[in-house]
Amino acid sequence: MTHSVISTTKNAHEDEIWACKWATTGANSSDVIVTGSLDSAIKLWRLDPETGQPVETKTLVGHRMGILRLDISAEHDMIASSGMEGSIHFWDLQTGAPRTEAIQGGKIECWGLAFRPHSTLIGTSAQQGKIRLFDINTRNEVEAFDTRGKFITSVHFSANGKFLAAGSTEGTLYIFDLQANRLLHAIEAHGKPIRAVLFSPNSAMLASASEDGTIRLYEPTEGLPITRITGHTSWITSLDFSPDSARVASCSTDATVRVWKTDKEKLAVFNEAHDKIVWDVAFSPEGNKLISVAADNNMVLYRTPKEYS
């Protein structure tokens, strides 16, 4: 079985779609796809058991402006969304109902958004150069990590709870030791802004994706480089690891979606799935499918067979 496009959902939103996530929820372990758009709406989707096509199940409305980031906590069965107005909203992953009052995460947009595993905290970042951690129950800020005024575009926590990563518009990759509450490494990873940072599910690797068109993988404890992945011809906008940590999917302003082995072997290139900037990608919980969302307002579903891991 080869990598291939399964289906395209045309006009999945009324405007560009900037964010997507895919998770398993509930006692029945059903899959939920979440998308967020500049139309300010968040949509929940499920795959039809007969056709295998995404079917919209719910539209969530609460933001005043477009959706920048999404994250999902399987532990809390919760979706977090950040909007251009600077607020963070929380939604029930199964029902789509609001869970708590919104948090004001940044002075303007809240660009970075990530749940901290095994806790009630969520990390945010914006233009002011601080990574702020809020308690999702009290909505109070409980901790902050300083990057000396650098605009932080993306944040992520390692699954083992040891590290926090952040990427800046200056191309610097920050790794914080959460046990010691200190900056562990500040790596000049890229010559252009970092658009996404992500730990692998096994916490062994940290990936950064940049406007320089490259993905770089690091070992987080020592901050040592593992490999450099090239192939995109323009900015990389986002990336996602497969659940087994063996593959990385990436998307770009070059309107392509690519799938790689983490040893930088190219597995697949999708050149014609979208005709505009692709903003985000997400693997399915099983790792055998992938979705992408783009500036063409479309959502594309792919087959990504695990035997290629």
Amino acid letter, residue 170: E
Residues constituting the chain: 309
Q: Answer whether 220's CB lies under 8 Å from 158's CB.
A: yes
pLDDT at 83: 92
pLDDT, position 128 = 76
Residues of the chain with pLDDT under 50: none
Give pLDDT tens digits for 79-126: 999 999 989 999 999 999 999 889 976 656 788 999 999 999 999 998
Contact 20, 293 (CB under 8 A): yes
d(CA 137, CA 158): 22
Pick from 228, 300, 218, 231: which is nearest to 267 by CA?
Answer: 231
Query: What residues contact residue 291 under an 8 Å CB cut-off, 6+ apart?
Result: 20, 22, 33, 54, 281, 282, 284, 299, 300, 301, 302
Residue-wise DSSP of 277-305: -EEEEEE-TTSSEEEEEETTS-EEEEE--
Contacts of 265 (CB under 8 A, 6+ apart): none
pLDDT of residue 28: 56
Looking at residue 301, what is its pLDDT? 98
Domains of the chain (ranges plus CATH)? 4-308 (2.130.10.10)
- From first CA to last CA, the distance across the chain in angstroms is 13
Output the pLDDT for position 40: 97
**Within a 10 A sphere around the Cβ of 142, how many other Cβ atoms?**
12
Tokens of 288: 């055998």
Question: Within 10 Å of residue 225's Cβ, how many Cβ atoms?
Answer: 12
Tell me whether residue 40 is exposed, middle or buried, using C-beta atoms within 10 angstroms of its C-beta: 0 to 12, 13 to 18, 19 or more: buried
The Cα–Cα gap between 88 and 270 comes to 33
Q: Please list, in sequence order, all residues whose beta carbon lies within 8 angstroms of the beta carbon of residue 219, skipping any fewer than 6 positions away.
A: 204, 205, 206, 225, 226
Is the Cα torsion angle 301, 306, 307, 309 positive or negative in sign?
positive
Place of tokens 């323009």: 234
Distance (Å, whole) CA 273 – CA 262: 23
Pick the closest to residue 259 from 274, 241, 276, 273 (CA basis): 241
Residues 245 and 171: their CA atoms lie apart, in Å, by 24
Do 299 and 35 contact (CB within 8 A), yes or no? yes
| 308: amino acid identity, one letter | Y
CA-based nearest residue to 251, from 37, 56, 18: 18
